A and B are shown apart, each in its own frame.
Chain A
Amino acid sequence: MHATGIGASVRRKEDQRFITGQGHYTDDINRPGQTHAYFLRSPHAHAKIKNIDSQEAASAPGVVAVLTGPQLATDKIGNLICGWMIHSKDGTPMKMAPHPALAVGKACHVGDAVAVIIAETLAQAKDASEKIKIDYEVLTAVVDPAKAQAKGAPQIHEIAADNTIYQWHLGDPKAAEAAFASAHHVTKIDLINNRLVPNALEPRAALAEYDSGTDQLTLWNTSQNPHVARLVIAAFVGMAPEHKLRVIAPDVGGGFGSKIFIYPEEVVCLWAARKVNRPVKWTSDRSEAFLTDAHGRDHVTHAEMAFSAEGRILGLRAKTVANLGAYMSTFSSSVPTYLYATLLSGQYDIPQIYCEVDAVYTNTVPVDAYRGAGRPEATFVVERLVEVGARELGLDPADLRKRNFIKSFPHQTPVIMAYDVGDYGATLKKAMDVADVKGFGKRRRESARHGKLRGLGYSAYIEACGIAPSQAVGSLGAGVGLWESAEVRVNPTGSVEVLTGSHAHGQGHETTFAQLVSERLGIPMDNISIVHGDTDKVQFGMGTYGSRSGAVGMSAIVKALDKVEAKAKKVAAYMLEAAEADIVFQDGKFTVAGTDKSAAFADVALNAYVAHKFTGAELEPGLKEGAFYDPTNFTFPAGCHICEVEVDPETGNTEVVAWTAVDDFGVLINPMIVEGQVHGGIAQGVGQALLEGAVYDANGQLLTGSFMDYCMPRAENFPTFRVETTETKCPSNPLGIKGCGEAGSIAAPVAVINAITDAIGSEDVIMPATPSSVWQTLQRIGGRKAA
């Protein structure tokens, strides 16, 4: 193995600048003459805006402008859009309500931006905001997705009767009905997948600048996909033609999905910058982030699984109400449909699956993709059903899983997906060995001696990553293609710049992508730069989410490298006076096969640019190639996580005491980075299971609106993770990789809940399983006698 090639745990190149404060985040950027934006937000969840009096604010010290929603229409600034069309069962399109960047006539959630103040300083903007008088007529709010469709619930948007956005389904209801009719046993569960606040370390930010000389707008923002932001802001919002808008997403400190979307604030900054002809900057504070970053999850589900007498799964049915919040965020419609129901087969051979999903509006922050996006929700449904089913049937949960695993590939599920490859038995077996499941009984007795209830929970998850191919997602309603682009620029001195449409916001692309190039071209990592996040540098890109940067983004680089190598061979042939077919490229050297005649990569690069060895008629000078890569299938990372918990029956407190993760991510580029991704994912998943949950009161006030009340996981919440991998190579991309960014957060929540329910002997555990809720369940069931 090459020391800095594929499979090497190379230290992250980017960390030096991140951990020494040398990163360049959006808020670090300042432009001459810059002004500051402050958004005045609705304190009411649902209110008519009868009047806005901003006269006094407009003349306050330092104020440059005060802008409100109705002025957007005057300036022909369009609404924000949701880019994935979902049709209801009856064929009607989803009910996308207008989403202006500043509220027009009505505020629909606490935090909805009602006005923006542009001032010389942020303090002046804030002071001026106090002088804006808004006459609200407060309306009744609805926050609970389960009540949004009820008779008498207040209707939030004119377009959506009963607050229903769509009533979608997947699968064959009659075939599922027949499967359930023939069942020996049916397991039924009701689940709530709790609403989460993303909380990236770096809050969102935007800085917009207008050049009146060239009529060019530039936006620096915290985006996971700057090209898509530019496309939407140009084509749908109508801010400026695409070629007159440059979007730069520099260093970005975490996204987890929440920075995929196009938000009101960046649109308003661009609009205001042109209006006042000065740069306009906005940086979210943490309180704003709680009220404006798209939240995650928030499903209410009833699910059933049908079993034969032999413990074979015959069918699965699920009915989900998904809360999309006050407006449809950029990709919100796809999350509870094609990213959710298509994964309800899990790792199992399930003949019939039928899923119904109602998406609803509520007076809450919009909900969209959050690490895992639909797949954690699906895994929660499948793995709770299997676990509860095993307990009801009196079967060992690992045995039940093994009995139903898909064993031959490719496998077509009843819910669209065609799994390409996998070995679920191998991941389960390895996980059971590493976790020492055999010794669990002894550990449980040991815990009991200390007055603790010990439980063990499995999660055999699968995900669909890459979020491609384009034709497939297009047929399912996506408004964009989901390929990726890359350009490899070889400089005359032999150093290389790779321009990628993927975006890095913590994933370590500057390292992993350079490892690929280092291995392919045989040049040191130091001679390679990875360039991303600027629409003026990279021609186009779809960005980073859905664990797609490796499987799709790196595959595009491979394709471009193939072209570079082919061209370089032609150059080398002229240099070495040999036939092109005789040139062999290995370890950074072009050699004439069977001879000792060779040229180093850097010499070939120089020759490509000086062009002294060939004529223009024979060969084009230069060494730069681009590629677009569209995969032929999703990738299907899968694995098995085993969680062990100790519950204190006196307090209800759950401690995660052991964690084993065995994942099949296909080929690993950098095992250290993969392990880091798994760690972070598990932490987020355990956060959802034990600590995190966004809580609204009945009036739509976010009660968990700060870190005082919204509990994020900390190192003390975790044991040392035992992380291992198995490998089946992904056949649909040239590197054989599957993606690892979301696995932990998909696998973890249900592993924890399966462990707690095992520990306390009751299935009645909600997320987050706080000490008080677990304690109350223990009181209701009279407490489990420690085994």
Chain B
Amino acid sequence: MAMTMSGEYQLAATPEAVWAKLNDPAVLKACIPGCDSLEVVGENEFLAVATNKIGPVKATFKGRVKLTDLDPPHGYKISGQGEGGVAGFAKGGASVKLAPKDGGTVLSYEVEAQIGGKLAQLGQRLVNGAAKKLADDFFVRFAAAVVAPAG
């Protein structure tokens, strides 16, 4: 089933600072909910493992994540495909845009994803809510990370 989601977050840092953090695997790992590992496997390419629960389905997703259309410090596209084993799969992408606003940065994103298998069968009513919550969790942590001192 198809899922679309969009949102905006105001971050207390310049677009350049936000951009740097968005490309820092350690920051991403710390901010992605349930992220067990995030391994750099190529230029702008990661192998991610994350465990999350959507409704009755708990799954460890393993997937390749790629960053494309890099336009520092204005945005990029992040896309990937995660296999959750018997829980099913999720694939899709998000375009992330950064713009200066009120002395900080407004980050906006648009997600388009497809999910299948048990996730779609059992979790579809909960997927949008669960995805929104995962995104919120990510950005709450990310907002904290962008104002934290480097290192």
Residue numbers of A with Cβ under 8 A of B are: 40-41, 43-45, 110, 126, 129-130, 132, 287, 290-291, 697, 699, 701-703, 705-706, 708-709
Contact = CB atoms under 8 A, between A and B. Distances in A.
B124 interface: yes
B120 A126 contact: no
Given A697-B1, A697-B2, A699-B1, A705 B120 contact: yes
B88 interface: yes
B86 interface: yes
Contacts of A45: 116
B101 to A, nearest CB: 37
Contacts of A699: 1-2, 114, 116
B62 to A, nearest CB: 9
Contacts of B86: 40-41, 126, 129-130
B1 A701 contact: yes
Contact of B125 (A41, A287, A708): A708
22 contacts: A40-B86, A41-B86, A43-B89, A43-B116, A43-B118, A44-B89, A110-B117, A129-B86, A130-B60, A287-B121, A291-B121, A697-B1, A697-B120, A701-B116, A701-B120, A701-B121, A701-B124, A703-B1, A703-B124, A705-B124, A709-B124, A709-B125
Nearest to B57: A287
Interface in B57-86: 60, 85-86
Contacts of B140: none
B144 interface: no
Nearest to A39: B86
Nearest to B115: A701
Interface string B124-138: 110000000000000
Contacts of A290: 121
A45 B85 CA distance: 15
Nearest to B121: A705
A709 B1 CA distance: 14
B116 A110 contact: yes
A701 B120 CA distance: 7
Contacts of B40: none
Contacts of B89: 43-44
Contact of A703 (B60, B88, B118, B120): B120
Contacts of A705: 120-122, 124
A44 B114 CA distance: 11
Closest 9 CB pairs of A and B: A43-B117, A705-B121, A701-B120, A130-B85, A43-B88, A697-B1, A43-B116, A701-B116, A701-B1
Interface in B72-109: 85-86, 88-89
A110 B88 CA distance: 10
Contacts of A132: 85
B115 to A, nearest CB: 8
Interface size for chain B: under 10, 10 to 19, 20 to 34, or 35 or more residues? Answer: 10 to 19
Given A43-B88, A129-B85, A129-B86, A287 B120 contact: no
A44 B122 contact: no
Contacts of A126: 86
Nearest to A700: B116
SS of A interface (majority)? loop
Contacts of B122: 287, 705-706, 708
Nearest to A129: B86
Given A110-B117, A701-B117, 12 more contacts: A41-B117, A43-B116, A43-B118, A45-B116, A110-B121, A126-B86, A129-B86, A697-B120, A699-B1, A701-B1, A701-B115, A703-B124
A234 B76 CA distance: 60
A126, A701, A706 — which one has the most chain B CB atoms within 10 A of its CB?
A701
A709 B125 CA distance: 9
A566 to B, nearest CB: 59
A627 B118 CA distance: 49
A706 B86 CA distance: 16
A255 B85 CA distance: 31
Contacts of B1: 697, 699, 701, 703
Contacts of A130: 60, 85-86
Contacts of A706: 121-122
A188 B115 CA distance: 40
A290 B117 CA distance: 12
Contacts of B124: 701, 703, 705, 709
A680 B39 CA distance: 57
A702 to B, nearest CB: 6
A129 B85 CA distance: 8
A708 B126 CA distance: 11
A43 B117 CA distance: 4
B60, B88, B89, B121 — which one has the most chain A CB atoms within 10 A of its CB?
B121
Contacts of A129: 85-86
A132 B84 CA distance: 11
A701 B114 CA distance: 10
B10 to A, nearest CB: 35
Contacts of A703: 1, 120-121, 124
A487 to B, nearest CB: 45
Contacts of B2: 697, 699
B116 A287 contact: no
Contacts of A697: 1-2, 120
Nearest to A133: B83
A45 B88 CA distance: 12
B29 to A, nearest CB: 22
A132 B1 CA distance: 24
A371 B86 CA distance: 32
Contacts of A44: 89, 116-117
B127 to A, nearest CB: 11
Nearest to A111: B121
Nearest to A131: B85
A705 B56 CA distance: 13
A132 B86 CA distance: 10
A291 to B, nearest CB: 7
A772 to B, nearest CB: 15
A82 B96 CA distance: 52
A110 B115 CA distance: 12
A699 B89 CA distance: 13
A43 B89 CA distance: 7
A501 B62 CA distance: 52
A702 B120 contact: yes
Contacts of B125: 708-709
A709 B2 CA distance: 17
Contacts of B115: 701
B58 to A, nearest CB: 11
Contacts of A40: 86
A702 B122 CA distance: 9
A703 B120 CA distance: 6
Contacts of B114: 699
Contacts of A708: 122, 125
Nearest to B89: A43
A532 to B, nearest CB: 35
Contacts of B60: 130
Nearest to A701: B120
B71 to A, nearest CB: 29
Contacts of A43: 88-89, 116-118
A290 B121 CA distance: 9
A291 B116 CA distance: 13
